[in-house]
Amino acid sequence: MSKINSRKLGRSGIQVSPMGLGCWAIGGIWQWLGGPGGWGEVDDAESIRAIQAALESGINFFDTAANYGTGHSERILGQALAGRRQQAVIATKFGFVVDEARKRVTRFEHDDDVIKNARAACEASLRRLGTDYTDYIDLFHLHVWDYPVEPAAALRQVLEDLVREGKIRAYGWSTDSVELARVFAEGEHCAAIQHDLNVILDAPEMLALCEQHNLANVNRSPLARGALTGKYRKGTSFPENDVRHDEYSVEHFFVPTLDKLDALRDILTSGGRTLAQGALAWIWARSERTIPIPGFRTVAQVKENAGAMEFGPLTTKQMQEIDRLLKR
């Protein structure tokens, strides 16, 4: 039985499980600006079983994107939810040029192109998801994390139009910039900001913004791309077709996490938790608006992460001790 309450997607009022599934890793192999965009080879049948296991475990929130496998992740999610769409809350993302034939994602040449393409991107995601008897997306995120402020206001209006037309129920922005997030926060049907958050990589300013504007925090990288699972050591290398092979993953997630993980191990594994479950417990304790979306490729990973709900959040004392150990 879950020891943590369900969450709301901000001012939309849409009720979701306290954690979701991040569907990036099930997209398979694809290219992002000439480098790896995916997490290596995938087993589609296992991905479908994992999504269905999540539903059985009480998880109803699924986050994907047009980028992930250039639409492959959306298609697999749609297949897994066939006949069960009304049990799920689906978030997907838009904002880039998605070349399905070449398995390649690039940027638009002009910022205005993102605005002009938003409606078509919504329709394309709906087709790939193959949503049965409910032709809408619950949460539609802008995926361009550094999109400029000026055109963002115009883009926000297009998203408001899509809400009024029933194509989407709410929208948000996947960005770590508080300044940019504030632009969307002013929109009536903005419901969430998706941003990095984990026990090593805190985001106090973004959490404060979402609290101020009644928005949900959808948290990517809650397990630091796997570094918080305890499965990897310093110097671990990944295949060249795995996004964790790139310098950003190493320097932003693996190095800082693996440098500090041993100091936190006893707290995170308290009460019989695994490291991953402890990392999710920290996020729930950080704010009542947080919705971590750990990635997955197997049924076992989904079941382990779902098991964190049976333990609930860390205590205030444990949170204070972690801050002391991390000197923050």
Could you tell me if residue 63 is inside a domain?
A: yes
User: What percent of the chain has pLDDT above 90?
Assistant: 93
Could you tell me if residue 244 is inside a domain?
A: no
Q: What is the mean pLDDT of residues 100-123?
A: 97
Burial class for 187, CB neighbours closer than 10 Å (0-12, 13-18, 19+): buried
Split at pLDDT 50, 70, 90, the class of 132 is low
127 contact partners, CB below 8 Å, separation of at least 6: none
Q: Which two tokens stand for residue 234?
A: 């310093």
Which pLDDT does position 236 carry in this prediction? 87
Burial class for 159, CB neighbours closer than 10 Å (0-12, 13-18, 19+): buried
Could you tell me if residue 241 is inside a domain?
A: no
Over residues 249-307, the pLDDT tens digits come to: 999 999 999 999 999 999 999 999 999 999 999 999 999 999 999 999 999 999 999 99
Count of the separate structural domains present in the chain: 1
Could you tell me if residue 302 is inside a domain?
A: yes
The three-state (H, E, C) secondary structure of the chain, written as one string? CCCCCCEECHHHCCEECCCEEECCHHHCCCEECCEECCECCCCHHHHHHHHHHHHHCCCCEEECCCCCCCCHHHHHHHHHCCCCHHHCEEEEEECCEEECCCCEEECCCCHHHHHHHHHHHHHHHHHHHCCCCCCCEEEEEECCCCCCHHHHHHHHHHHHHHHHCCCEEEEEEECCCHHHHHHHHCCCCEEEEEEECCCCCCCHHHHHHHHHHCCEEEEECCCHHHHHHCCCCCCCCCCCCEHHHCHHHHHHHHHHHHHHHHHHHHHHCHHHCCHHHHHHHHHHHHCCCEEECCECCCHHHHHHHHHHHHCCCCCHHHHHHHHHHCCC
Split at pLDDT 50, 70, 90, the class of 131 is low
Could you tell me if residue 231 is inside a domain?
A: no
Taking alpha carbons only, the member of 32, 67, 72, 25 closest to residue 50 is: 25
Which pLDDT does position 25 carry in this prediction? 98
- The dihedral sign for the CA sequence 195, 243, 69, 114: positive
Domain residues for 95?
7-224+286-312
Question: pTM for the full model?
Answer: 0.96
Split at pLDDT 50, 70, 90, the class of 235 is confident
Could you tell me if residue 105 is inside a domain?
A: yes
Cα 115 to its chain centre, rounded Å, is 22
Choice between 234 and 102, residue whose per-residue pLDDT is larger: 102
Which pLDDT does position 3 carry in this prediction? 86
Q: What is the mean pLDDT of residues 39-65?
A: 97
What's the CATH number where 294 sits? 3.20.20.100
Could you tell me if residue 1 is inside a domain?
A: no
Name the residue type at position 32.
W
Could you tell me if residue 48 is inside a domain?
A: yes
